[in-house]
Structure 1
Amino acid sequence: MSKTTTPATARNIEWAVATLREAELTRTDRGPITEEWPDLDLDTAYAIQDEMVCRRVESEGETIVGVKLGLTSRAKQRRMNVDSPLTAWLTDAMVLPAGAPVPLDELIHPRVEPEIVFVLGRRLAGPGVTAATALAAVERVYAGIEIIDSRYTDFRFTLPDVVADNASAARFLLGGVGRRPEELDLALEACLLEVDGRVVDTATGAAVQGHPAEALALAANSLARRQVALEPGWIVLTGGMTDAVPLRPGSRVAAHFTNLGSVVAAAPARGEAG
C-alpha cells in the first residue's frame, strides 16, 4: 500500500511507526511527529499509516475490517485547525462489543463522536466513484460511536501528523438497528448527543460532507490512489457528525438517531474494571 521511498525516508517511516505504536501501547502522549520531521508530507504520512496497519496485521494478528473518515464535518475541521478530510484504517481490535465498557485503562485521553456507519454489500473501487454509486454499494446503515484517542498531547497536530497516527483511531461500536440506505434520508437523519443525561449537541447527516454518501465516495476515490478498494463486508465510519466530547471515568455518552436507534458508550468509574 505504501509508495516507493528512499532508504532515508524508509528509516524515518519505521521510526514514526515504532514511536506512535509505543505511545499507543504505553498510553503515553507525545508531541507531533512534525516537530522532529518538519518536512513530513501527506503522501509519506499515509505511507506511515499503511505501514502501521501492515504491522498490526502481519505481526500482531489483527484483521482489517474497514476504514474511517476523519475531519469530514466543519465542526471537527475548525476544532483541529485543518481543512481537509482524511482516511484511516479499522481493525478487529478496535471493535467494542455492544454493552461493553470503554477500556479507559487502554487509552490516553479518549473523546467520543457520533457517526453514520455503512456496511458494504459489494466491492467499491475508485476512481470516479460518485455519491450515488457509493450508496448503491451499501448493504446496511447503522448508528455508531467512535472513540478517538490521539497519541499527540492535547490533540494538537498538523494534517500529516494525524494521518500518520491513523486519524486517532482507537475503538468504535455500532447500534443494533441496521437499515437499508433506500429507507433513509441520510442528509436529514438527525442525531442528538447526550452526556450523562444532558444534551450537548445535535446534528444531521448533512454535517458529513453534505451527505454521508459523499464521504463514502471520497474514501473510495482517495484509497484508489493507494491501489486499495473497499471490500464487501467492510465497515465505513463516515466521520463525526458533531464535535467530539471527552469520555471521563464514570461517564455515559449516548447518541440518539431519528431512524437508526441509539448507541451508548459508557466508561467505568475510576477504580472499576474496564
Structure 2
Amino acid sequence: MNSTITNLAKRLSEHLAKAEENRKGVEPLTSVEPGLSMKQAYEVQLATIKRKTEAGARIVGKKIGLTSRAMQELLSVDQPDYGHLLDDMIVENGGEISWDRVLQPKVEAEIAFVLKKDLTGPRITAMDVLLATDYVLPAIEVVDSRIAGWKIQLADTIADNASSGLYVLGGKPVKVDTVNLSQIGMVLYKNKEIVNTGVGAAALGNPATCVAWLANKLHEFGISLKTGEVILSGALSAAVNAEPGDQFKVRVAHLGEVSVRFAKK
C-alpha cells in the first residue's frame, strides 16, 4: 500500500476499531468528522487494513460494493466502492457463523472471481478481467457495519472497509468462457424460503465490468489486483437482514450453491 496514512485516518480508524472491541456500533464518521471526503475515507480504510495486516492478517482479495443502481441512488453516488478481504473473513461453505463474529449482519449473493493474472489499472476493460480470471464461483457476502444502526453515508461505508464482514465461497470452479455472466440467474433462500432473486446484469451490467472498475480505482492508490486473489464482484440483489439461527443458501445458474448459517445466541 503506497498511500500515506494521515493522522486523521489513524484517528478515525481507531474510532471504528472500538466497535469491534466493545461489540457495539459507534457514531458515524461523518458526524465525528463532518465533510469527510471519499479520498479521506479510503485513507481511513487503508489505515485499518495496515493495522490488521501488521497484527498478522493477510489480504486475500477485494470486494466491490454499491454496484446496483438502487444502492447508488440511495447514497446519491454514481460509482461503486471497494473494500479489502482478509484471511480471517473466510467462512467454510455450509459452515456456521458465531454471533460474536458479527454486529448487525446482512447477507448478499454475489459472483466471485479468482484471478490467474495480475490486473493493474488505469485502462483495464471487462475483457481484460475475463482473460485474467482463472474461474468464478457463487459467493455469499455477509456485510456488516461498525456504525450503529447502519446510519451510514458514502464516506462512512468506504472508511468502514465498504461495510465488509465475512464471506463464503461455494459451488465448483467454472471457467468464465463457458457462461454468460450478465445473464446468469441467482436465487437467495433464507430458512428455505426464497427472499430474493437476481441476475448478473444487476452488477453494472456485467460482474466483469465491476472488477474492471476496481482495478482502475485501485490504481489511484498504487494497488494492483494480484494473481490468486478473490474478488467479490457486487450484490445481485438487495441485502437481507440476518438474525441468530438463520440459514441462507444461494443458487447461481451454472455455478452451483453456497450456504451458511448463523449460530443461535
Name 1:234's counterpart in structure 2.
229
Match of 2:65, as an amino acid? G
User: Which of 70, 81, 90 in structure 2 is aligned with 1:86?
Assistant: 81
Moved more, 133-142 or 25-34: 25-34
Matched, 1:74 2:74: no
Match of 1:162 in 2: 157
2:50 alignment partner in structure 1:
54
State the 1:75 CA deviation.
Answer: 3.5
Alignment of 1:107-146 (within 5 A): 107-146=102-141
Amino acid at match of 2:236: M
Please list every run of 5 or more consecutive structure 1 residues that lacks an aligned counterpart in the other structure.
Answer: none
1:11 maps to 2:31: no
- Residues 181-233 of structure 1 show CA distances to partners (whole Å, capped at 9, x for unaligned) of 00110001100111111111111100001000100100000001111110000
Which of 244, 251, 264 is the matching residue for 1:249? 244
1:22 match: 18
TM-score under structure 1 normalisation? 0.93
> Match of 1:225, SS?
helix
Amino acid at match of 2:46: D
Letter of the aligned partner of 1:20 in structure 2?
L
C-alpha contact 2:3 2:222 (8 A) present in aligned 1: no
Partner of 1:31: 27
Seq. identity, %: 34
For residue 4 of structure 1, report the CA deviation from its aligned partner.
Answer: 4.5
In structure 2, the CA distance between the partners of 1:4 and 1:53, relative to structure 1 (3 Å rule), is closer
Q: Report the alpha carbon displacement of residue 2 of structure 1 after superposing the two structures with TM.
A: 5.6
Contact 2:2–2:223 (Cα < 8 Å) also in 1: no
CA distance in 2 between partners of 1:96 and 1:216 (Å):
22
- Check whether the contact 1:141–1:179 (CA below 8 A) recurs between aligned residues: yes
- Contact in 1 for aligned 2:63/2:84 (Cα 8 Å): yes
CA shift digits 1:62-89 (9 cap, x unpaired): 0000100011112333455544310110
Structure 2: 5+ residue stretches without partners: none
Secondary structure of the residue that 1:101 maps to in structure 2? strand
Over residues 87-112 of structure 1, what are the superposed CA-to-partner deviations in whole Å (9 max), with x where a residue is unaligned?
A: 11001010111222012112111000
Cα distance, 1:177 vs structure 2: 1.1
Q: Secondary structure of the equivalent of 2:173?
A: coil
Instruction: Write the letter of the residue equivalent to 1:72.
Output: T
In angstroms, what is the RMSD of aligned CA positions?
A: 1.4
Aligned to 2:181: 186
SS in 2 for 1:203: strand
Q: Kindly indicate whether the alpha-carbon contact (under 8 Å) linking 2:2 and 2:222 is maintained by their aligned counterparts in 1.
A: no
The alpha-carbon deviation at position 154 of structure 1 amounts to 2.0
Provide the rounded CA distance (Å) in 1 between the counterparts of 2:108 and 2:146. Answer: 17
- The amino acid that maps onto 1:19 is H
| Distance in 2, Cα, partners of 1:125 & 1:259 | 29
Deviation at 1:24, TM superposition (A): 2.1
CA distance in 1, matches of 2:260, 2:75: 23
Select the residue among 172, 177, 180 that pairs with 1:177: 172
When the two structures are superposed, what TM-score results if normalisation uses the length of structure 2? 0.96
| Whole-angstrom CA distance in 2 between matches of 1:114 and 1:81 | 23
- Letter matched to residue 184 of structure 1: V
Q: Distance in 1 between matches of 2:194 and 2:127?
A: 33
